[in-house]
Amino acid sequence: MFLADFHIHSKFSDGQMAIPEIVDFYGSRGFGAIAITDHLCELNTFIGTAARYLESTLTPAIFPFYIEMMKSEKQRAWDQYKMILITGVELSKNNILNSRSAHILGLGVTDWISADDDVADIARAIRAQGALAIAAHPVSTRKIEKQTYHLWDRREELTPMIDAWEVASGPFLFDEVADSKLPLIANSDLHRPSQIKAWKTVLDCERHEGAILEAIRKQKISFKMYEDDITNYGNNHHRRSTLLYRISPIITGNLGAA
């Protein structure tokens, strides 16, 4: 069994760490798999234009460099830590209205996808690459921030196109998602090191990308809360880590044993 986190941001969008730093950050903590999922925002909206101006989104010009960096770090992650690094994106449709905002993770995406399309078309485009379409924080995140309710409001229509719905984002468990009987996943949505304290997905499968994606599709997973007490994180950091292996009865009621 191994811990995984499939929602992580790097300096290619709005994260604080470079991709090699993220690999070392998770690898040194014994994680078996991670996905880096930088924002890929719309090109044809005012908010998307602002994201490009602030350099907080992938663009068609930057995307090839992002993929090449991932390829390089995939091998190092395995050689140094026996950790699988999955290339991903977070297709981000941002609107002043929460009901029109939606974020979709694409786990395994390696080709550019337009975030300007309808969410159903985005999900189909993700799956056409053999990747997973994940509904990111589809309900209230329990934090004071912009919310993304569009996917949840259309969940009956979108269920056949979405492979899993985030049942937790960071340290908060979403009871309404847990009770929905939809396929689930738990992630950090990590932008900075302190956000490592979060619900994580646990897998018991072969440690390669195909097996991991298939385990999520078939829901052969469980969820645990991870807490990491970091002291002076840096190149020569010292830390003491604790794992809080706590599985919610609600979650285990929906999933088979991992």
Burial 43-60, CB ≥16 within 10 A → b, else e: eeeebbeebbeeebbbbe
Total domains, the chain:
1
Q: Give the residues across from 168 on adjacent strands.
A: 173, 186
Per-residue confidence (pLDDT) for residue 230, from 0 to 100: 52
Q: Read off the pLDDT of residues 227-242 as tens digits, 9 standing for 90 and up.
A: 986 544 443 343 433 3
- The pTM of the full predicted model, rounded to 2 decimals, is 0.90
Q: State the residue range of the domain holding 33.
A: 2-254
Residue 88's CATH number: 3.20.20.140
Phi, psi of 123, rounded to the nearest 5 degrees: -60, -40
Name the amino acid, one letter, at 201: T
Please name the residues in contact with 153: beta carbons below 8 A apart, sequence gap of 6 or more. Answer: 99
> Of the candidates 23, 45, 25, which has an alpha carbon nearest to the alpha carbon of residue 91?
45
Give pLDDT, residue 228. Answer: 82
Tokens of 64: 């090839």
- pLDDT digit string (tens) for 60-92? 999 999 999 999 999 999 999 999 999 999 999
What is the distance in angstroms between the CA of the first residue and the CA of the last residue of the chain? 8
Q: What whole-number distance in Å separates Cα of residue 169 and Cα of residue 221?
A: 16
83-138: pLDDT as tens digits: 999 999 999 999 999 999 999 999 999 999 999 999 999 999 999 999 999 999 99
> What is the token pair recorded at 202?
């646990």
**255: pLDDT strictly greater than 50:** no
